[in-house]
Structure 1
Amino acid sequence: MLKGLRVFLSIIVVILSGYSLLTQSFKLMPYSMLLLSALILVTGFIELQKNKKEFWGYLCIVVSLFALSGSIQGFLLN
């Protein structure tokens, strides 16, 4: 289930980012950052479920929280 969610989020993030680049309209950037943080969080959970408990799973979760804070700032400033 998490792998399917990761694929879905990847497609949505690529579509939103591509649209923003082609139209030069960056009003959708906070949404893109929010979905990107969700994508990185799901990737971190997938890494932790592999029973490897390595550094990369925890790093993905921390980076996801950082991207989420940037997304929240983008929502508040616009």
Structure 2
Amino acid sequence: MLKILRYVLSVITLVFVSYGLITKDFKFGNSMFLFFGLTMLVLGIEEIQRERKVMGGLLIAVFFFSIYVSIEGLLIS
């Protein structure tokens, strides 16, 4: 289940990044950070399940940071 979720979130993030790079229009940047953060959360959970607690903790920390950036961007704009 987490593997499928990881692939779906990664593809959604890749679509937002590709759109921004191709069109030079970064209006979906906050959404990209949101899906990037969710991808990092899923990766962190997978790493913790594999008994790699340090890497899982770092990935979850990246999740919190990217969610903060996404919410901050949504509130300011």
TM range (shorter): over 0.9
Using the size of structure 1 for normalisation, the TM-score is 0.94
TM-fit CA distance, 1:18: 0.4
**RMSD of aligned Cα (Å):** 0.8
TM-fit CA distance, 1:54: 2.4
Using the size of structure 2 for normalisation, the TM-score is 0.95
Counterpart residue type for residue 55 of structure 2:
W
Q: What is the aligned-residue identity percentage?
A: 36
1:16 corresponds in structure 2 to 16
Measured in 1, the distance between the counterparts of 2:52 and 2:15 equals 32
Q: Deviations over 1:29-49 (max 9, x none)?
A: 000000000000000001111
Give the 4+ runs in structure 1 shifted more than 2 A: none
1:76 corresponds in structure 2 to 75
1:66 corresponds in structure 2 to 65
